[in-house]
Amino acid sequence: MDPPLPGPRTLTVSAMRSSQGLINQFLEWFGDLGIFFWQVVRAAVTPPFEIRELFRQLDEIGSKSLPLVALAGAATGVVLSLEARYSLTRFGAKSLLPAALVFSVIHETGPIITGLVVSGRVGAGIGAELASMKVTEQIDAMEASAVNPYRLLAATRILACILMLPLLTLASDLCGLVMGWVAQAMVEPLSFHQFINSGFKGADFNDLLPPTFKTAVFGLIIGLIACFQGMRTRGGAEGVGRAATSSVVLSSLFVILADVVLVKFILIFFP
């Protein structure tokens, strides 16, 4: 005879235990992340400072991410220009196209696209690099040589992410606006000077600075999660793959969640 099927009470208890286990793992992960962040901050503010490694990471994270970020921004600008033109023409507001494109790119599209692109490229790179160093015991060798890995490996990468994300966002915004104008000019002749004047009419620094500098928070999230996932890796080559994947997934998820919160703060303090 077939074994009896579990009753509703048994299924409910099993589901509650599974949910409780997931919640405990989630809280434990957050606690470990907070401890890791405190160790990184404490190591970053105490000498000696790893200036050479910081500049190397600025080049690795900033310069080498620039082509991908610029391409993503340019493609986004073209798509927004085409879609906005189609939508505004239907409602008889085609003259508002430059302003709609400028405000959409600067306020939201440029920052979030930059954050997600960098989280994909840099998050995976940092996670895989530190994970491979962890499983091959290079980090343990650093600690045995009196070198603080939190200062050399984590603090420099996190700080480089914080510093470079706003600059990469500006590059993405610029490429998006230029290619948006190109897409517009191919349909209807429009000078770049006229496009910029119409787009930035009525705009001020409160429309540019807060959305741009909120990406510094994105950089903190990307660098912190990638370093944390990489430096806590276990399990050899398989663990390296898991660290790279989890770095991208978690950093992208938290970037999106942080964007929701930061948009609300910006609307409150910079109306």
The predicted-structure confidence for 126-157, as pLDDT tens digits, reads as follows 999 999 888 888 888 888 888 888 888 899 99
3-state secondary structure of 200: coil
Average pLDDT over residues 76-96: 81
Segments forming the whole domain that contains residue 182: 51-269
- Is 80 contained in some domain? yes
- Is 45 contained in some domain? no
Which pLDDT belongs to residue 7? Answer: 55
- Is 173 contained in some domain? yes
What is the domain count for the chain? 1
Read off the tokens for 224: 């912190």
Span 215-226, pLDDT tens digits: 999 999 999 999
Which pLDDT belongs to residue 2? Answer: 47
87 or 71, greater pLDDT: 71
Residue reference for tokens 């190591």? 43
Read off the tokens for 178: 């230029």
Phi, psi of 167 (to 5 degrees): -65, -40
Q: What is the mean pLDDT of the chain?
A: 85
Read off the tokens for 194: 């006229």
Does residue 48 have a cis bond before it (omega within 30 degrees)?
yes
Which pLDDT belongs to residue 97? Answer: 80
- Is 35 contained in some domain? no
Smallest Cα–Cα separation from 122: which of 43, 231, 221, 254? 221
Angstrom distance (rounded) from CA 230 to CA 250 = 12
Range with top average pLDDT, 100-109, 180-189, 233-242, 248-257: 248-257
3-state secondary structure of 1: coil
| pTM reported for the whole predicted model | 0.88
Which pLDDT belongs to residue 21? Answer: 67
- Is 225 contained in some domain? yes
Using alpha carbons only, what angle is made at residue 168 by residues 45 and 39, rounded to the nearest 5 degrees? 20
Residue reference for tokens 């606690």? 31
Banded pLDDT at 1 (limits 50, 70, 90): very low
Percentage above 70 pLDDT, the chain: 92
- Is 248 contained in some domain? yes
Which pLDDT belongs to residue 101? Answer: 87
DSSP string, 101-141: HHHHIIIIIHHHHHHHHHHHHHHHHHHHHHHHHHHTTHHHH
167, exposed or middle or buried, with CB in 10 Å at 0-12, 13-18, 19+? middle
36 or 206, greater pLDDT: 36
- Is 23 contained in some domain? no
- Is 120 contained in some domain? yes
Give Cβ neighbours of residue 166 (< 8 Å, ≥ 6 apart). 212, 213, 215, 216, 219
DSSP character for 214? T
Answer whether 177's CB lies under 8 Å from 107's CB. Answer: no
Angstrom distance (rounded) from CA 86 to CA 49 = 53
